[in-house]
Amino acid sequence: MKKVLEIIWIILIALTIFAYLLGYLKYIDSALVSILLISTFIKGALVIEHFMGLKDVAFKYRVIPTLWLAFVLSAIAVAYYL
Amino acid sequence: MTIKEKYPPGDFGVWIIIYIELVTFAMLFLGYAFSRRADVELFNQSQLMLNQTSGFINTIILITSSYFVAKAVQAVKSMDESNYKEFNKKASKWLIFALMCGATFLLVKITEFSHIFGEGINLSTNKFFMFYLLLTGFHFMHVMLGSIILFNIFMKTKKFGYTPTDTRGIESGASYWHMVDLLWIVLFPLIYIIR
């Protein structure tokens, strides 16, 4: 459990490499955009929970940035798919 | 089950600033996303002129700097009266790495900006580049401010300024830096990848 920050860092790097590889595709399939947005949500949530340290904080403060992230990424998805 | 803290880490004032910044950037992100809908072809063609590798490198750099800052906070929060000097030293070591990441981010971004401006691109070139320059320029200023904050925290750790009863300064600065990272995590796929 002592290496939690290291594990989070590795996951964040892996998801960033995944996004970068997607960027190489001339045309990105709309399903891939969904996966990219979900992976971005996971990255943001990991930063909020573990780096910002909000996992140890009362729910009302923890939920604000997570809701912000969910709202922004959902709106981006709406703009992309509609 | 762990007992939750009543308030987020650091001063509450910094969280008000963080919430305001998140709302401001959200408007810019959504402005970009919905403007793109109106002219997908223009946005896709313009996006291909960006250097995705520099966006990728900067994402890695910011994530890594956030990790270093989290390690510095972890060090400071583990201290007690008998070892606070040792833990201030540990924190300063992590902060130096974070500062180096911040400086590298700015250098990569300046290189990218000089390439873009060298191509004759500016705010009025088209809507894509208006949003690109606004979003990344505004974010660039936040990285500069965050680096200044981290430098001040670093100087305080060099003077063994954090004690078991006084860690709010480093927590506030760290929260701001993580917000800068969080904003880039959304910005990177939105501007550089999605098309």
Structural domain containing residue B66: 12-193
8 Å CB contact between A54 and A61: yes
Per-residue pLDDT tens digits for B101-111: 999 999 999 99
| DSSP state string for B76-123 | HHT--TTTHHHHHHHHHHHHHHHHHHHHHHHHHHHHHHHHHHHTT--T
- pTM attached to this predicted model: 0.95
8 Å CB contact between B54 and B108: yes
Angstrom distance (rounded) from CA B194 to CA A19: 9
Structural domain containing residue A49: 4-81
Q: How far is CA B133 from CA A49, A75, B50, B158, B191, in A?
A: 30, 21, 11, 37, 10
B19 contacts A64? CB cut-off 8 A = yes
Total domains present in chain A: 1
> Which residue from A47, A54, A79 is facing B181, i.e. has the nearest CB?
A47
Between positions 49 and 108 of B, the ones with CB within 8 A of A are 52-53, 56, 59-60, 63-64, 66-67, 69-71, 73-74
Q: Kindly list the residues from chain A whose CB atom is less than 8 angstroms away from the CB atom of residue B181.
A: 47, 51
Q: Fill in the amino acid letter for A75.
A: A
Q: Fill in the amino acid letter for A61.
A: Y
Q: Which residue has the tokens 């995944």?
A: A18
Task: Give the ipTM.
Answer: 0.95
Find the CATH number of the domain harbouring B40: 1.20.120.80
A23 contacts B193? CB cut-off 8 A = yes
8 Å CB contact between B52 and A23: yes
Residue in B56, B161, B116, B30 with CA at minimum distance from that of residue A23: B56
Domain assignment present for B7:
no
Per-residue pLDDT tens digits for A29-48: 888 999 999 999 999 999 99
Domain assignment present for B4:
no
B185 contacts A65? CB cut-off 8 A = no
Per-residue pLDDT, B68? 98
Per-residue pLDDT tens digits for B37-51: 999 999 999 999 999
